[in-house]
A and B are shown apart, each in its own frame.
Chain A
Amino acid sequence: MKVELVVDGKTLSLNVSSDKPLSELLREDVEIKSLESCCHGDMCGKCIVLLNGKAVLSCLIPAFNVKNATVVTYDSFSKTKDFKDIENAYISLGVEPCVNCYASRTLLIENILRRYEEADLGDNALLDENMLNEIMRENELIKCFCMDMNSFIEIVKESLNNRRKRNVNVYGTKIS
């Protein structure tokens, strides 16, 4: 099956089996190095990519469902300003994920930031209990015990602050 998609800004036309998982496609056919995917659909959480702007477990997406889609992997995301917000949070809190889950956890945090950016909570809004529960459950998706729950939540909050500061200009209005 011919699948056309954009991966990390490059338009590709691939000839692959229609039921091939996106994780396998990215590793074998596009040679994305940051993908840790060895679970074959067992939801280990280490194959997260952004599919059309939303985080997904790439092992659960078949090739026929990514026709004309835009995929962003950690390889290209790590070169963006959005990544800097998260990286600065890692540095300022002195905690960062291990090498096995760094890429997936970073993209997961980016997905959470985008969701709450869209929700427009206001500049001083804190994450309420429901949001925190949701974030905790999402963190549990990544089967790696290198980071405790509190650290993860602190990183999300710090990243969200960094993102808000960056999105507000010197006059205090939001940059659209």
Chain B
Amino acid sequence: MSMYTELRSPNVHEPKTIGEYAETVINYNGSINSLWAGGTYIMSRPNFYPSPATNVEIINLKDIEELYRIQRNDRFSEIGAMVSLNDIALLGSNIFPKTLLQAIESTACRLIRERISVGGTLCTQGFNSSVSSVLILLDTAVEIIIPKKRNFTRRWVHGSRLYDKNGKFVLNTVFSNAMVSKIRIVIQNFDFEYFKTAGEPIKNPSEAVSLAVVSKLDQNGVSSPRLIITFPSIGFVYSKDIDNLLANLPLPANENRTRDLYRNILGYIKENLGPISKIQQVRLRGMLKDMVLSLNQHILSL
């Protein structure tokens, strides 16, 4: 048994700098390069070990010191891709929007959060976490490293560029072998923030759903709202059309208007993402109702 185990043991590369990472990626271009940040999602997949793939090259990012740096000023925070979600939560109870902190807390308990990196959260193929959707909602910029022949380039892009319009992770199809090295979260305040999640996103993604909303409020109602819905196994729903639905919602809204909002959003989801499970529909309806109630309360207290 041990002989066979040894035969298919994947190679592990442990670059110390971004330059070494770029070199490794270029050298092993033909193999399945598996970037290893925290590894929590990869390890929790069924049948991860023993792996059926034979030519896997694991690139472990844990020794790249640059990926752990955190810089803060009055306008934004720059966070390295290997910083854990728990460290972000501890760092940001006063500076980050409540929505982000709630999304982080909802991901998993502290023991697991300590091992989930923010870069890994953003770049997991086939899985959309509510943290990544909230980061998009907050206009987070992402620095990506693009390896070139003997060098690499850095480029800042909007977080949503990592995904297509339905939340499918597409970074590596746009930029070959690219890696997220840090994120920049702008420090901003909102009058209204809402985050709710239901189900277990990691263990049962086809039943989980989360909703995040941020907006400014004035006496006329909601101004410049942004809304994102996450279905972990399908993708995100975020669009100017949906934001406009919320902006045009007369507040305080009654049940009929809430139902119309739900129907319109569900129609958009079916058109763009395809069908979602019955339990996700029920959960989403409940969340939207709760969000509108909360909005009503905020408006009436202005």
Cα distance, A101 to B271, chains bound together (Å): 47
Among residues 58 to 103 in chain B, which have CB atoms less than 8 Å away from a CB atom of chain A?
A: 58, 60, 62
A-B contact count (CB 8 A): 86
B111–A17 touching, CB < 8 Å: no
Q: Name the segment of B40-48, B155-163, B228-236, B257-265 touching the other chain.
A: B40-48
Contacts A42-B203, A43-B44 given; does A20 touch B5 at CB 8 Å: yes
Interfacial chain B residues near A21, Cβ < 8 Å = 43, 48-49
A16–B111 touching, CB < 8 Å: no
Size range of the interface on B? 20 to 34
Interface size on A (CB < 8 Å)? 30
Partner of A17, one of B6, B45, B46, B114: B6
A40–B49 touching, CB < 8 Å: yes
B40–A60 touching, CB < 8 Å: yes
Is A108 an interface residue, CB under 8 A from the partner? yes
Partner of A137, one of B39, B60, B110: B110
Interfacial chain B residues near A40, Cβ < 8 Å = 46-49
Interfacial chain B residues near A19, Cβ < 8 Å = 9-10, 48-51, 56, 58
A41 closest partner in B (C-beta): B44
New contact pairs (14) apart from A15-B2, A17-B8, A140-B109, CB-CB < 8 Å: A1-B12, A15-B6, A17-B49, A18-B9, A19-B50, A41-B43, A41-B44, A41-B48, A43-B112, A61-B43, A64-B58, A65-B39, A65-B62, A138-B111
Residue contacts A-B, CB under 8 angstroms, 30 given: A1-B9, A1-B12, A15-B2, A15-B6, A16-B5, A17-B5, A17-B10, A19-B49, A19-B56, A19-B58, A20-B5, A21-B48, A40-B46, A40-B47, A40-B48, A40-B49, A41-B46, A41-B48, A43-B44, A43-B112, A57-B112, A60-B40, A60-B44, A60-B115, A64-B58, A134-B109, A137-B110, A138-B109, A141-B109, A141-B112
A binding-site residues for B, Cβ under 8 Å = 1, 15-21, 24, 40-43, 54-57, 59-62, 64-65, 108, 111, 134, 137-138, 140-141
